[in-house]
Amino acid sequence: MKLFIDDAHIEDIKRIYEYYPVDGVTTNPSILYKTGKNPLETLKEIRAFIGPDAELFAQAVAEDAEGMVKDARFITELVGKNTVVKIPSTPEGFKAIMALKKEGIRTCGTVVYTPMQAYLAAKAGASYVAPYVNRIDNMGYDGVKVVAEIQEILKNNNMDCEVLAASFKNSQQVMEIARMGCGSATASPSVIDAFVRNAAIDGAVNDFVSDFEKLTGRRTMTDLK
């Protein structure tokens, strides 16, 4: 499963890249809003840091298909070929995805709450579909189950489209998605940090260091040289 950072704060992105094996960055207009900065400058800054080969997701904001197509062209010109343009999985969005597929611009059908939205976005030519796991949970449905149903639809219809599971609020949701062999997931820096925030892990590591120090008076193997 590919793992993306769902954030646009460059310092957080740099920190997560330093400590975790991640594959790229996903954004949406609300995530860009949280930086308080010019969105175009933010996207360019993220691209400069992650390099030309990593995937960067940025969302078209226009409300009609023609505008979405224009936004998508502009975004990909601005931040390079490995950019995936997120398009809402609505009728206007499906129209835009079909047009962008013909132009060779890769898209992600986003704002996915139902398997039918995912099916239509994939059939229209989206490279990814992004179900919102936590938001679905909050509506009283089972977000992980919706992802499983979407995976099944894509597989059984031989669709060339990958699930990008999104909107996580805890590690358990991400773990369930990884267990089912989902293509990709995107999570905020705080959720990624929480993957291994565990007193048992810290305690075990501290015990090893402390026992070594009691034995040798040193804290690392290298200190013994």
Just list the catalytic residues.
86
Structural contact between residues 192 and 171, judged by C-beta atoms closer than 8 angstroms = no
Q: Which of residues 34-93 bind ligand E4P (CB under 6 A)?
A: none
Decide: is 126 part of the binding site for ligand E4P (CB under 6 A): no
Which residue from 71, 74, 107, 104 is spatially nearest to 89, judged by alpha carbons? Answer: 107
**Cα torsion through 77, 81, 84, 87, rounded to 10:** 40
Q: Which stretch binds ligand E4P (CB under 6 A): 33-41, 94-102, 130-138, 150-158?
A: 130-138
Contact indicator for 211, 30 with CB cutoff of 8 Å: no
Contact pick of 13, 129, 166, 182 for ligand E4P (by CB under 6 A)? 166
Considering the rule CB under 6 A, would residue 170 count as an interface residue with ligand E4P?
Answer: no
Long-range contacts of 71-74 (CB under 8 A, 24+ apart): 72/96, 72/100, 72/105, 72/107, 73/103, 73/105
Q: Does 191 bind ligand E4P (CB under 6 A)?
A: no
Q: Least distance (Å) from ligand E4P to the CB of residue 214?
A: 45
Q: Which amino acid is located at 68 in the chain?
A: M
2 binds ligand E4P (CB under 6 A): no
Q: Closer to ligand E4P at the Cβ: 35 or 134?
A: 134
Q: Which stretch, 76-84, 128-136, 141-149, 198-206, contacts ligand E4P (CB under 6 A)?
A: 128-136
**Is there a contact between 107 and 125 (Cβ–Cβ < 8 Å)?**
yes
Instruction: For residue 34, give both structure tokens.
Output: 């949280």
Candidate list 89, 107, 173, 186; residue touching ligand E4P; CB under 6 A: 186
Compute how many residues bind ligand E4P; rule: CB under 6 A: 11
**In the complex, which residues of this chain contact ligand E4P (CB under 6 A)?**
6, 26, 28, 110, 130, 132, 134-135, 166-167, 186
